[in-house]
Structure 1
Amino acid sequence: MAEVTALYRYPVKGLSAEPLPALTLARASGLAFDREYALALGTTEFDPQNPEPLDKGFFLMLRSNEVLAALSTRFDPESGQLTVIQDGEAVLTEDLTSETGREAVEDFFESYVGPAAKGRPRLVRAAGHKFTDGSVISPAFMRAVSLINLASVRALEERTGQPIHPLRFRANIYIDGLEPWAEMDWVDREVTIGSLRLRGLARTPRCAAVDVNPETAARDTNLPKALKRNFGHVDLGIYLEVLADGAIAVGDRMAVPTGTEDAA
């Protein structure tokens, strides 16, 4: 029986995952505080009053800035405080709801990332907007959550002959107990996790961001190439649309579609 083994959110695009015992999701807005903030490159124009979805290349992110993986971050939604930990020590704690706090965060990342930030990065946020990779596709993709089938990760490990940390794929939901690649068939089909109803939007194509080891910050694989060579595609995981408000928790069971079901 398939069940949830781990849940995560990513309050700041490109920064570390936050493990949570449960997630509350809404049809209208997806997962709260997931990719809520982003660090725009110094050359990026983004208007919080009139937000337009932008490709992830306009922001600090792991595909180009693997040094971000050497940091551990924690965000407290109630206080608005972001804490950055480097080499086991807190090097920054600032309130993202204040101008001085945001400026301190920008100062830190300008120094930490260096020239690759293309000037002073700007911490950005906009009401009703998420900095998900799929935001450029449609509003539904902006609000979607991502799922990883751990059996598919193990199948890739077997073909590459090396361990692959599942957090390379930066998903919200991690599931075990399925056949490898079962999730590839969920597009346009409904799945249920606990009592939460979701629908497959699209398979998740993988870029060079997954080559960054989340434990060492080293770029030590070429997983998109390995996927293509061994399986004929570069996909691992799936985007899911939230169909109704609800919550899921670690340990929840998953009902998966059969081949004869129609999408809801």
Structure 2
Amino acid sequence: MTGHVAALYRHPIKGFTPEQLAHVDVAPGQGLPFDRLWAVENGPSGFDPAAPAFVPKQKFTVLMSIPRVAAARTHYEDDTGLLHAQAEGMPVFSGRLVEEAGRQAFAAWLSKLLPDDDLRGPLRVVTAPGAHRFTDHPQGQVSVVNLASVRDLSQKMGVELDPLRFRANLYVEGWEPWVENEWTGRPMMLGWARAEVFKPIVRCAATHVHPTTAERDLDVVKALFDNYGHMFCGIYLKVTAGGRISRGDAVTTPDAAPVETPEWA
């Protein structure tokens, strides 16, 4: 089944503003460059940059626990290492996340934006050298959302869901609704890259937060379960061969091989 890349995003800081891309180059066993490269600890998380390992998202400032995170508008500059952030009623922030002083300054700025009741301890921006990314699943390198599935859920809920609620890397047009839930283990072409479907994405309360207003306004997880009997929306991929992915590129997964009928049947 063939679709195409309708939109392509990275999220340099886990939980914060998606940044739209025209194209991206991916490598085997890795996610998108600069995607979830940093995270903000909400009190000590146990993350060790010298021995980076998966840490549950609840340890960080993420939308499922702190909707106000969506009030910050962030933008990262690859070439300078500068992060820019703004929010209503706050001074504009600019600092280099590649430097400890810049990370501390952003944490200080953020601590004035987020409600005290939501903070479990000092905020700290963390990162690690190499390929480590702060994904929601340790093997969820690239996330893909089928826009037809989002529209089908919107129709069932009687609202127009912003696909950015689902914080995917790729948004795909051209697939039938919900077919992606049956593709675990299937190979896939993403532009010039190759991947394998790892598993469907189980959704959490982060999807309840409107990406513009920063308010919890819809129970998307309940709507998924009530209408479909599952809490999936999107799939995780593992990159198996590197290449460039661009907006408009084909996203193709082979049809399942037909089951041969035995001669004796």
- What is the TM-score with the length of structure 2 in the denominator? 0.92
1:46: Cα distance to partner? 2.0
Percent identical residues: 39
1:118: Cα distance to partner? 1.6
Which residue is 2:125 aligned to?
Answer: 123
1:173 to 150, 170, 174: 170
Which residue is 1:105 aligned to?
Answer: 106
Residues 254/28 of structure 1: CA separation in 2 closer, same or farther (3 Å cut): closer
Which residue is 2:200 aligned to?
Answer: 203
The question of 1:255 aligning with 2:252 is answered yes
- What is the TM-score with the length of structure 1 in the denominator? 0.93
Q: Is the 8 A contact 1:147 1:174 kept in 2?
A: yes
- Aligned equivalents of 2:30 and 2:95: distance in 1? 26
Q: CA-to-partner distance for each residue in 1:79-134, whole Å, 9 max, x for gaps?
A: 11110022498710101122221111111112211422222211000113111000
The question of 1:28 aligning with 2:25 is answered no
After TM superposition, which residue ranges in structure 1, 4 or more long, deviate above 4 angstroms?
A: none
Which residue is 2:218 aligned to?
Answer: 221
The question of 1:78 aligning with 2:79 is answered yes
User: In structure 2, what residue type is equivalent to 1:104?
Assistant: A
2:156 to 148, 155, 159: 159
Q: How does 1:41-80 map to 2 (within 5 A)?
A: 41-80=42-81
Number of positions where the alignment pairs a residue of Structure 1 with one of Structure 2:
256
Which residue is 2:262 aligned to?
Answer: none
Where do 5+ consecutive residues of structure 2 fail to align?
Answer: 260-265
Higher relative helix content: 1
Where do 5+ consecutive residues of structure 1 fail to align?
Answer: 136-140
3-state secondary structure, aligned to 1:243? strand
The question of 1:183 aligning with 2:185 is answered no
Larger Rg: 2
- Aligned equivalents of 1:211 and 1:257: distance in 2? 33
Residues 112/87 of structure 1: CA separation in 2 closer, same or farther (3 Å cut): closer
1:71: Cα distance to partner? 1.5
Which residue is 1:132 aligned to?
Answer: 135
Please report the RMSD computed on the Cα atoms of aligned residues, expressed in angstroms.
1.7
3-state secondary structure, aligned to 2:155? helix
